[in-house]
Amino acid sequence: MREPAYTLTAGPTGGWPAVEAAMGAPLVYDYDPLFLERFARTERKVAELFRTAGDVVLMQGEAVLGLEAAARALVRPGMTALNLVSGVYAKWFGIWLAECGANLVEVEVPYDEAIPVEAVARALEDHPETTLVAVVHSETPSGVLNPLREIAEVVRAHGALMLADVVSSLAGEELDVDGWGLDLCVAGPQKCLAGPPGMSLVAVSERAWDAIRDNPAAPRGSFLSLLDWKDRWIDGGRTAFPYTPSVVDVAGVEAACDVVIDTGLQASIDMHRRAARATRAGVEAMGLRLWARDASYAASCVTAVAAPDGVDVLAALAHIRERYGVMLSPGYGELKEQLFRLGHMGPAAASLTPVLALAALGRGLADLGLEVTIGEGVDAALRELAGA
Amino acid sequence: MREPAYTLTAGPTGGWPAVEAAMGAPLVYDYDPLFLERFARTERKVAELFRTAGDVVLMQGEAVLGLEAAARALVRPGMTALNLVSGVYAKWFGIWLAECGANLVEVEVPYDEAIPVEAVARALEDHPETTLVAVVHSETPSGVLNPLREIAEVVRAHGALMLADVVSSLAGEELDVDGWGLDLCVAGPQKCLAGPPGMSLVAVSERAWDAIRDNPAAPRGSFLSLLDWKDRWIDGGRTAFPYTPSVVDVAGVEAACDVVIDTGLQASIDMHRRAARATRAGVEAMGLRLWARDASYAASCVTAVAAPDGVDVLAALAHIRERYGVMLSPGYGELKEQLFRLGHMGPAAASLTPVLALAALGRGLADLGLEVTIGEGVDAALRELAGA
Amino acid sequence: MREPAYTLTAGPTGGWPAVEAAMGAPLVYDYDPLFLERFARTERKVAELFRTAGDVVLMQGEAVLGLEAAARALVRPGMTALNLVSGVYAKWFGIWLAECGANLVEVEVPYDEAIPVEAVARALEDHPETTLVAVVHSETPSGVLNPLREIAEVVRAHGALMLADVVSSLAGEELDVDGWGLDLCVAGPQKCLAGPPGMSLVAVSERAWDAIRDNPAAPRGSFLSLLDWKDRWIDGGRTAFPYTPSVVDVAGVEAACDVVIDTGLQASIDMHRRAARATRAGVEAMGLRLWARDASYAASCVTAVAAPDGVDVLAALAHIRERYGVMLSPGYGELKEQLFRLGHMGPAAASLTPVLALAALGRGLADLGLEVTIGEGVDAALRELAGA
Amino acid sequence: MREPAYTLTAGPTGGWPAVEAAMGAPLVYDYDPLFLERFARTERKVAELFRTAGDVVLMQGEAVLGLEAAARALVRPGMTALNLVSGVYAKWFGIWLAECGANLVEVEVPYDEAIPVEAVARALEDHPETTLVAVVHSETPSGVLNPLREIAEVVRAHGALMLADVVSSLAGEELDVDGWGLDLCVAGPQKCLAGPPGMSLVAVSERAWDAIRDNPAAPRGSFLSLLDWKDRWIDGGRTAFPYTPSVVDVAGVEAACDVVIDTGLQASIDMHRRAARATRAGVEAMGLRLWARDASYAASCVTAVAAPDGVDVLAALAHIRERYGVMLSPGYGELKEQLFRLGHMGPAAASLTPVLALAALGRGLADLGLEVTIGEGVDAALRELAGA
């Protein structure tokens, strides 16, 4: 089989040329003075995208590592943790919270809806002992966005720590770590940054560090340890890593940050939103159904499309990949065979690329015998992209 | 500061051009059919280098992750584990064994010596309840090689599981996972493979899987879990990853394996040995002192050189890097300021590159006022490289 | 201004990833044994695409060099040369023929038509002294294809030498150098091969070599000399170049040939034809007018679209490039401001890419106030691409 | 056979990583606005290295093209041209001058000597009708440097045009096009710039343009035409190329210029000189004989070494390439089998790389049975590189 012509997935998504060039550059030693500088510089660039003056930890391993590290660092056995569930990833995160010994409280909504802020307030009233609240900002598996800013406001008022999975929202949705008072955020470079899928980008507030340091159960001397990075690298003057970082991934992440910074953070967010609007308009005009019940909380990173009755999602995607060289995503987890996901992150959100994803899905379904008004979908999407 | 002209370190080492090209290729989705094939194919290529017909797990994260994963998977609280210590990494590994709850027994020798096989036999006699033995094949921090084949023979006779850190020996030293009966081996791609420093390459025997499955303390549902890979990916028919693998690192690892396979595994080992012999001959002829007390157990991956009296290792290395663009390594851990390490792995072991490392070290020390007979060192090294 | 997201032009066109990787590889010496092998190997690969067992000359310089070299090599002052003109490039070629001293006879048709075979026969009857006939197979400036096979038949029957500009037809249109008896063909790698725009690929028959050798005016000891390549490189046993070839371009050309050979030459031609059909269907369904008067002779490499009345071609293209990041081409030469050209060569002919070009042109024109039925165009194109 | 580990030749030489990255970037259309900007910007960067405020023409084709173009542009049949010959390239250039119809006067010295300035003065006195003087600044085939500044002074005083082949001196030797009053200079990017071997970099003074315009024999409408570039591209406002430039080579040339400009032009020249000094010192200390009779005119780009009696140069180089992976050059033209040439241009002049070339040559000759004091050579070279 040939390489895909277009990777328009839920991530890893196709990268920017500058990212690919950076990762093809000569390998260097992690203690090369140039790499030490690059590592520290990349932390600050990631911090700029997070909008934080606080610490950023660049862990080696895709965002799942950062999320597990966060859970293990913050959960003390017996503490009460409120987990807000509007999708697959949040559900899985709750398993970690419980496994780490938290007394788990959950607010759960159907996976095609966002968490209502009032429900958070209510849960905190019901469980005033809650000291940690976890939420997924943008649920990549289903393309649903939660009102993080409003939720964080409630949580801060209550005094609990706010932990947010922003894996697929960084650089694609509004996010203001310091302004919103988020204590621990985990992002991934392989989503809206269109970088490599090998790192966890973690923002940690001073309050969060205090909590972690006070937690005897927080990992130390472990690949899962945030504290090792704090003690050895950050507070040690940035001369010693707790373990060998991936020099290649760091180069890729820096290049990805540079693309966003050169574009402008707000322009990057606008581009992702416009691509998402165009895709949603296209999907509906093609006669297909959006998964998110309300466009107001549809995510900027991917658009989830409900599979029409009788369509075998995986077979349809395999056909599209083989016949047209376009790689799209199915759903994820329990939603795997219920959804098509059209990714619009990084290059896939730029130019007219959203049209390619629509044409691929539409034509693929038409090949299988469905009636799809592809042209109308493309027209609608182009109007959005044109701002017409 | 400019990029280094030559990276002749203890790893990450400068990569092969084919590796760098592979990592600069377009990013793909982890569930792209091409990537699924590549991942499975890369497992078999790594297995070929390990000389095993058993399972290979490709974890996302440098070898320290694989080592921690191995310790957590195999150690049951209360079991007796024998740790063989001839260097910094083995010492650290013992801390994990103990932290996981093992009753730790150690055989320790000075860090410029190898473990004597008899000492292992004796320790097992003294501690017949031992069910796990851990050893570092090639101690990168000090360039010392342990007699893994002979040790494994003793351990198998005793019936314990044999866990080996082969991070820097794979493709550079003789290694025969199935033939020697090794149960769990962890290698790194950034050493003799001259690939990227972002993965753990783990060979697991059936006996080891049985032990892990029986161990209630073995991580499950965790970034540190070997079992997740076994259950979800390997036994699940290689269609679902436990988490997103780094598509970039896998491409780099496959390319690195291809270089070794094209060269021939034995030819690769011979090349590393010849480079090591040349470097040792050069060091001695320059009037410097090798760290390893006996050449018979000096490693093929790096040559450790005892710092001459009064020399500030880090300052000397900084001078060599700045003035000549050559990056060498200091010692590691507690040996950091006592050693220079000249790496000869991958491209750094090929061609006349060992001469560059010698010239850089020799001239760098001469600049600092030492008497170093550089020319004689280079002559001696070239004679070895020429087979003259 | 940012890099273009998509280069869908009349060439240089966006390259295959394998081509770009080959050109980013380490620079080598032209007399490196590996490069000598590569150069000879690339000649045979190009010959395979030409379908010739004869000599192939790889000149350093874009196809204009090869064409000038061909004219200067074959034209003897005073000979009669018949030039078949259906477009800008053929017209320019006639200027060279005359300048070299040929007694020039031309058959000319409007630039939206192909040369009728009968007109060639008639011209040869009228000018029986003709010893050279020149034709452009595929006129890139206007997307018109001439019936080369049939023309060549007439020319061979007459006994004249047949010189063909196949710059944009190689690998995109049927072409059989030996089978059709073509004496000298010049192709470019930056068209349907989707390689770099820095070489001339020249196929030369024995008859042509004889004529060149007999021609005292043929350049010798010159950058424009085909004979230098024949004498020094080909007949000299392929050990000495007449001048330094571009090691980078040769690497790119070889990689581009490999893509076509792996795909299959016929499959490559079919892909280009399908893309052209889809684009033409799309253009017409969008309510725009094709330039070629008859689809039967519309070229596979680019589709020329007549600019609607009142549209400023260059301004429209600049808008499309700036707003959507898509680079399309205007006409060329005297047709520059009368045409839009949508390129579909190499990657631009693969996958659903033709839809991108249609959407870009359609939406760009709509932004300028034209009524364009973009959706219908995309629907029509997709039906062709689907073979539906 | 494997790729060479080191390309330390007379050019094409191994490139800078930034150059290779630039050439592996996505192919773009030559009329993309970004490329138009890049082309114009690259002209100014090349001009900066030439130290000229005048026009720079970037022709597509290695320097031989630029040299032929210069000869054809400047020579009017019947004019008297003085050609200064101290090597193979100058000798060949005289053939062009004569072929273009010049009344050729030559000053020739043995190829291991430089042209004495007095001989130029004398020749001009003897031939006061001379209107063009040609010289090769740095003879790459034999590593001899002519006193261009002093020669130009004499030529200007006389009033003739000064044409200089500076192919291998640009960025490696002192050169001041405007300051020294050079009228037409041709450089190559594959020498001290360590770029790709596919372009001619030509500086043209106003006086030279006047002469070319007045010359009815100067090529027009030809790949060999400098005037086409002047009329169409430069004076046409830099919007139209006379033919398609190689977008890849231009990217490579710009990147190569950036490396030199970032380093500093003077620092680049100093680096080349130091590398040449080190290599000469090494050659002599190894007991071998330098070809240049006097170090004062030995070139900075390559060091030519006289082959010891009885040594088969090509066989020795093949052995060194095969056994050690190091590519060196033989002589060129009639000197081919009399010389070894150690290139030290770009990366090959940086770091300790000259030592590699010495070690490769020395060890290669030792393998063939010669007595070579390699170590002493390396010591001597390192002392020069250290400035000790």
CA–CA distance, C126 with C120 (Å, rounded to integer)? 10
CA angle (D18, D21, D27) in 5-degree steps: 135
Residue D388: band (very low, low, confident or very high) from pLDDT cuts 50, 70, 90: confident
Integer Cα distance of D53 and C345 in angstroms: 40
Handedness of CA B368, B374, B375, B378 (dihedral sign): negative
**Per-residue confidence (pLDDT) for residue B1, from 0 to 100:** 77
Whether the pLDDT of residue A150 is over 90: the answer is yes
pLDDT-derived band at A271 (thresholds 50, 70, 90) equals: very high
If DSSP codes are grouped into helix, strand and coil, which group holds residue C20?
A: helix
Partner chains of C (3+ C-beta pairs under 8 Å): A, B, D
Report the 10 Å Cβ neighbour count for B128. 10
- Residue C123 CB contacts under 8 Å (≥ 6 apart), including other chains: C82, C105, C107, C130
Contact by Cβ (8 Å): B329, B302 = yes
> Which residues of chain A lie closer than 8 angstroms to C374, CB-CB?
375, 378-379, 382
The percent of residues in chain D predicted with pLDDT above 70, rounded, is 100
Report the residue from B352, B362, B363 with minimal CB separation from D359: B352
Token representation of residue A174:
């509004």
pLDDT in tens, B171-184: 999 999 999 999 99
A180-227 tens-digit pLDDT: 999 999 999 999 999 999 999 999 999 999 999 999 999 999 999 999
For B37, other C-beta atoms within 10 Å of its C-beta total 12
Test C367 with A388 for CB contact under 8 angstroms: yes
Are B356 and D360 within 8 A, CB to CB? no
User: Which burial class, exposed, middle or buried, applies to A174 when counting CB atoms under 10 A from its CB (0-12, 13-18, 19+)?
Assistant: middle
- Judging by beta carbons within 10 Å of its beta carbon (0-12, 13-18, 19+), is residue C154 exposed, middle or buried? buried
CA D73, D110, D131 angle in degrees (round to 5)? Answer: 30
Q: Evaluate the CA torsion angle C23, C24, C30, C35 in order and state its sign.
A: negative
Q: Quick check: D1 pLDDT over 80? A: no
Question: What CA–CA distances, in Å, run from C303 to C166, C298, C324, D190?
Answer: 17, 7, 20, 38
Identify the sign of the CA torsion B22, B24, B28, B31.
Answer: positive
- C385 touches C280 (CB < 8 A): no
Interface contacts B/D by beta carbons within 8 Å: 91
Residue D236 sits at φ, ψ, to 5 deg, of: -80, 10
Please name every residue paired with B306 in a beta bridge, in sequence order, or none if there are none.
Answer: B289, B339
Average pLDDT over residues B239-262: 97
Yes or no: say if B224 and B242 are a contact pair by the CB < 8 Å rule.
Answer: no
Nearest residue on chain C to A372, judged by CA atoms?
Answer: C379
Residue C36 buriedness (CB in 10 A; 0-12 / 13-18 / 19+): middle
Among A316-320, A332-336, A342-346, B32-36, which stretch is predicted with the lowest mean pLDDT?
A: A332-336
Name the residue of chain B whose CA is nearest to D17's CA: B3
Q: What pLDDT, on a 0 to 100 scale, did the predictor assign at position C377?
A: 98
Say what the pLDDT of residue C194 is.
97
pLDDT of residue B183: 98
Helices B247-263 and A247-263, axial angle in degrees (round to 10): 140
HEC readout, chain A: CCCCCEECCCCCCCCCHHHHHHHCCCCCCCCCHHHHHHHHHHHHHHHHHHCCCCEEEEEECCHHHHHHHHHHHHCCCCCEEEEEECCHHHHHHHHHHHHCCCEEEEEECCCCCCCCHHHHHHHHHHCCCEEEEEEECEECCCCEECCHHHHHHHHHHHCCEEEEECCCCCCCCCCCHHHHCCCEEEECCCCCCCCCCCEEEEEECHHHHHHHHHCCCCCCCCCCCHHHHHHHHHCCCCCCCCCCCCHHHHHHHHHHHHHHHHHCHHHHHHHHHHHHHHHHHHHHHCCCEECCCCHHHECCCEEEEECCCCCCHHHHHHHHHHHHCEECEECCHHHCCCEEEEECCHHHHCCCHHHHHHHHHHHHHHHCCCCCCHHHHHHHHHHHHHCC
Q: Is the pLDDT of residue B320 over 90?
A: yes
Chains that touch D (3 or more CB pairs under 8 A): A, B, C
Token code pair at residue C54: 């004869």
**Mean pLDDT for all residues in chain B:** 97
Tally Cβ neighbours within 10 Å of residue C262: 11
Q: Which residues of chain C have pLDDT under 70?
A: none
CB–CB of A284/A361 below 8 Å?
A: no
Burial C192-217 (b: 16+ CB within 10 A, else e): bbbbbbbbbbbbbbeebbebbeebee
Mean pLDDT for A36-53 is 98
> What's the CA gap between A71 and A134, in Å, rounded?
9
Supply the DSSP string of B311-360, one letter for each residue: --HHHHHHHHHHHH-EE-EE--GGGTTTEEEEE--GGGGSTTHHHHHHHH
Which positions in chain D touch C64 (Cβ < 8 Å)?
A: 223, 243-244
For the residues A61-77, what does the mean pLDDT come to? 97
Comparing C-alpha atoms, which of D139, D206, D165 is closest to residue D69?
D165
Chain B residues whose beta carbon lies within 8 Å of the beta carbon of residue C252: none
Q: What is the pLDDT of residue A164?
A: 98
pTM for this entry:
0.97
Alpha helices by DSSP H, chain D: 17-23, 33-50, 63-74, 88-99, 117-126, 148-158, 177-180, 206-214, 226-228, 247-263, 265-285, 313-324, 353-367, 374-386
Please give the interface size between B and C, counted as residue pairs whose CB atoms are below 8 Å apart.
10
Q: Which chains have 3+ CB pairs within 8 A of A?
A: B, C, D
Helix (H, G, I), strand (E, B) or coil at C116: coil
Please compute, for residue C66, the number of CA atoms within 13 A of its CA located in the half-sphere on the CB side: 28
Residues of A in contact with B318 (CB under 8 A): 33
Complex confidence, ipTM: 0.97
Q: What are phi and psi of C343, to 5 degrees?
A: -85, 140
- DSSP symbol at B234: I
| A278-307 tens-digit pLDDT | 999 999 999 999 999 999 999 999 999 999
Interface residues from chain C to A (CB-CB < 8 Å)? 3, 5-6, 17, 24, 323-326, 347, 350-353, 355-356, 359-360, 362-363, 366-367, 374-379, 382, 385-386, 388
Name the residue facing C325 among A324, A351, A363 (closest C-beta). Answer: A351
- How far CA A79 is from CA of A83, B33, B172, in Å, comes to 13, 44, 50
Chain B residues touching A7 at Cβ < 8 A: 26-29, 32
Task: Work out the number of other CB atoms within 10 angstroms of the CB of residue C371.
Answer: 9
Q: What is the mean pLDDT of residues D269-284?
A: 98
Structure tokens at A78: 């017996």
Point out the residue among C360, C366, C382 whose CB comes nearest to the CB of A352.
C360
Above pLDDT 90, what percent of chain B?
A: 99
What element of type H or E holds C386? helix C374-386
Could you tell me which residues are beta bridge partners of residue D55?
D204
Residue pair B344/B329 in contact (Cβ under 8 Å)? The answer is no
Q: Do D26 and C13 touch (CB under 8 A)?
A: no
Give the torsion through C-alpha atoms of C353, C357, C362, C367, to 10 deg: 110
In this structure, the dihedral spanned by the alpha carbons of residues B197, B199, B203 and B206, taken in order and rounded to 10 degrees, is 160
The Cα–Cα gap between D96 and D132 comes to: 13
Q: A168: which chain B residues are within 8 Å (Cβ-Cβ)? A: none
Q: Say whether C243 and D62 touch across the interface (CB within 8 A).
A: yes
* Residue D65: per-residue pLDDT: 98
Chain D residues near any Cβ of chain B (below 8 Å): 3, 5-6, 17, 24, 323-326, 347, 350-353, 355-356, 359-360, 362-363, 366-367, 374-379, 382, 385-386, 388
Q: What is the pLDDT of residues D232-252, one digit of tens each?
A: 999 999 999 999 999 999 999
Report DSSP state, residue B269: H
Question: What is the dihedral angle through the alpha carbons of B240, B243, B246, B250, rounded to the nearest 10 degrees?
Answer: -40
Cβ atoms of C348 and C270 closer than 8 Å: no
3-state secondary structure of D270: helix
CA–CA distances in Å: residue C165 to residues C92, C183, C209: 12, 11, 17
